[in-house]
A and B are shown apart, each in its own frame.
Chain A
């Protein structure tokens, strides 16, 4: 059994080591540098607890709304045969890659209530609803439809059948997606800064002003520790709930999609259409912005983006940025998928202790990007090697951010697989590889396909870690966009919008391809 032991150690150890290097070590560096009695005083201050309550409150509302809005769409997009399904899936994934500044400014134009908590929540839902649809949908699509049918045959109304039968089967995926959204929104920075009420900062904004503006590392250490503790508790709790909610079931190895029938299906389809339109409106505003030149319309900003008219350390031709972004994203996706596979294997093999591994891997999402940035700097300055020139840190950093998403897409499927199916297949005389492929392998690979698409999107849009690690003359697209938006003048905002639209189109394309690459055994085509 030593071989399994070594495999287990490797599967669990590699992703954990990388996450530790990227997250735990930097946070520790900040805490060690700044922690003292003053940091404790920060924790004890009444204002700190109002800060926590506000931060958690807006995150909870954002999460609940994202889930509520996403569920009908997850059903319609993964259980029903809809024309334009892949396009709709790709479109709701797009917000994920857009820099928050871009979306924030678009929302400031669209929302009459910009500068309020409501505006933050709307933007959070916009960013995260697609994630919930995809995480929950990837399990929903594989549920055995006969379970629901049986419930209907037994006389349950469709709604009751959903609540009593389908919902419990989906609970693990919903919890997983909800935990992700909560972590994203609990530590969200750009959205709060651009759209929020300046009188109501969140923990992350306070950490930013403490480290970047005031250089008050003890306050930063106190807040970072507090944030880390809350995030850790949330991650552990949701991981446990998720595990407890896992139901072992026979999953269909291809997605079963049926023609819409009945009033509920029609509601779900209409809901999905409305959701897609709601997501598209800010995107269209962005497209319009990129085409508005002076008083008229045109492609001037695209020409300027592709071939900048002045050669300066500030200007980078779009193709160069895009090519760089794509290279980083490709490497990051490979890392995220491999690490995700190792992590899933490790989690499943570690049995009871797997929950801790899972929890550890989700931490990067809930840890302050500002803290990690400063922490990495402290480590780099006091550590034995200067790693800032290592290009590999960019895709690795992006992969660490994408990793929990990969795990959450793949793990619910893995947890739901019934090992007896493989045993049955083997008993029936199938060779081990074939038994594995027909019962588990195809589903697993498909899940990784979905996860890879999302990981690529995350990597393309990632800003925090990337901004910290890229050089001035080689910015990724999001970094370049944010730089342009720091200046007055129509051309700067116009080129920024054009770049954002290019990023958007590339994402739709990549995510669309990922959808297409999934095996074609699905009924209907």
Chain B
């Protein structure tokens, strides 16, 4: 077997370059950390771990930092499930001080793992139905509804009345029109499954058998469903019904180019919606629990709560916060959205998903 002898020159050149590069790199940081610069009285920093969909206006964050003397650093940690699992694995020795964005489907898992230092910020300012939702451990910050979205233009063109109930979705008139997400990989997909379980109880497998017979399409994530399979998502899809959020229609207006359309081309079916409440909590083991609690309080402040609808397209948990016009005009809140207790979800979710997989994906 022929072998090659590397030239010693090559090796020493490589080592020399390595030394130079490493030396050069230790000089500065490309992320130009201004925060590490020493100042006479270092401001307290609170790290808030969030899911990737988190957003707030810069001005709102800056105003808080100015008045409170607390620097807030937001750390994205993937989707909600990934974020919560990271918190569970680091319970007691957290990678941040505050966690924002855990929802009802994951709350029990975190509470069981003793992730939080119980803290509920001013419950009396919350909308009444949310006051107990945090189970005395975390604070509700916003909520939203996962609902079937309808491409009104498509139905008008076809001269068919859009569906109005879960039962309609299994009707042969609406055969091959619905796309849903896999509950094993998608949070709205799981929410829609939960809404059918709440409605049909132990007979939910039968409902899904009928949906499968009615040619429901399944994709793994929200983006594939909405942006590419939905007829109104801009990706040339052929399904006019999709599982999404009740606030997707106003988002279509807010994120349209000028001149903005007068009304959205999509609407929401108010039957079969599932309500997801998002919470913020102080992580057990936070470096500065007082400052962490101040940040949770701030998340419930009128300023943040008023910013939430257009930043994240969810509803403020605080009572009496005025909604932006597009919300007032184009979002219908379902009257009795489904909700399943966190503990029951924690206990049965894996079995439900397994059974759903057997029925729908076979």
Interface residues of A (CB under 8 A from B): 4, 7, 10-11, 14, 33, 101, 104-105, 108-109, 114-115, 193-194, 196, 198-199, 205, 208-209, 211-216, 243-244, 246-248, 293-294, 298, 300, 310-314, 324, 327-328, 331, 334-335, 337-339, 341-342, 344-345, 348-349, 351, 374, 377-378, 380-382, 386, 388, 391-392, 414-417, 419, 422, 432-433, 436, 440-441, 444, 467, 471-474, 482-483, 485-494
List 18 A-B pairs, Cβ < 8 Å.
A7-B15, A115-B219, A194-B220, A194-B223, A198-B220, A212-B79, A213-B184, A311-B59, A334-B21, A338-B18, A341-B10, A377-B89, A471-B73, A486-B52, A488-B255, A489-B251, A490-B255, A492-B255
Point out the residues of chain B lying under 8 angstroms from A378, CB to CB. 89
Nearest to A110 among chain B residues (CB) is: B236
CB distance from B331 to the nearest CB of A (A): 13
Contact between chains at A300 and B257 (CB < 8 Å): yes
Point out the residues of chain B lying under 8 angstroms from A109, CB to CB. 228, 235-236
Point out the residues of chain B lying under 8 angstroms from A348, CB to CB. 3-6
Point out the residues of chain A lying under 8 angstroms from B362, CB to CB. 199
Nearest to A435 among chain B residues (CB) is: B7
Point out the residues of chain A lying under 8 angstroms from B224, CB to CB. 104-105, 108, 194
Contact between chains at B255 and A486 (CB < 8 Å): no
Q: With A and B bound together, what is the CA distance between A248 and B4 in angstroms? A: 8
Nearest to A15 among chain B residues (CB) is: B18
Nearest to B242 among chain A residues (CB) is: A488
Partner among A293, A349, A444, A472 whose Cβ is within 8 Å of the Cβ of B75: A472
CB distance from B187 to the nearest CB of A (A): 9
Point out the residues of chain B lying under 8 angstroms from A313, CB to CB. 54-58, 61, 74
Within 8 A of A (CB), among B42-97: 50, 52-59, 61, 73-76, 78-79, 81-82, 85-86, 88-90, 93, 95
Nearest to B226 among chain A residues (CB) is: A488
CB distance from A265 to the nearest CB of B (A): 31
Contact between chains at B17 and A193 (CB < 8 Å): no
Q: With A and B bound together, what is the CA distance between A327 and B28 in angstroms? A: 11
CB distance from B251 to the nearest CB of A (A): 5
Contact between chains at B56 and A312 (CB < 8 Å): yes
Point out the residues of chain B lying under 8 angstroms from A415, CB to CB. 4
Q: With A and B bound together, what is the CA distance between A109 and B224 in angstroms? A: 10
Residue in B6, B33, B234 whose Cβ sees the most chain A Cβ within 10 Å: B6
Beyond contacts A199-B357, A344-B6, A351-B3: 6 other A-B pairs, Cβ-Cβ < 8 A, are: A14-B18, A198-B219, A335-B21, A345-B11, A391-B30, A488-B251
Point out the residues of chain B lying under 8 angstroms from A114, CB to CB. 228
Point out the residues of chain B lying under 8 angstroms from A341, CB to CB. 10, 13-14, 17-18
Asked if A487 meets B61 with Cβ closer than 8 Å, knowing A312-B311, A493-B227, the reply is no
Contact between chains at A311 and B235 (CB < 8 Å): no
Contact between chains at A489 and B17 (CB < 8 Å): no
Q: With A and B bound together, what is the CA distance between A119 and B293 in angstroms? A: 49
Nearest to B91 among chain A residues (CB) is: A381
Contact between chains at B7 and A485 (CB < 8 Å): no
Point out the residues of chain B lying under 8 angstroms from A417, CB to CB. 4
Q: With A and B bound together, what is the CA distance between A448 and B109 in angstroms? A: 50
Q: With A and B bound together, what is the CA distance between A473 and B109 in angstroms? A: 29
B254 at the interface (CB under 8 A from A): yes
Nearest to A300 among chain B residues (CB) is: B257
Point out the residues of chain A lying under 8 angstroms from B89, CB to CB. 33, 374, 377-378, 381
Contact between chains at A199 and B109 (CB < 8 Å): no
Contact between chains at B54 and A208 (CB < 8 Å): no
Q: With A and B bound together, what is the CA distance between A491 and B228 in angstroms? A: 15
CB distance from B327 to the nearest CB of A (A): 14
Partner among A209, A327, A334 whose Cβ is within 8 Å of the Cβ of B185: A209
CB distance from A393 to the nearest CB of B (A): 11
Point out the residues of chain B lying under 8 angstroms from A344, CB to CB. 6
Contact between chains at A108 and B311 (CB < 8 Å): no
CB distance from A308 to the nearest CB of B (A): 10
Contact between chains at B11 and A11 (CB < 8 Å): yes
CB distance from A117 to the nearest CB of B (A): 14
CB distance from A122 to the nearest CB of B (A): 15
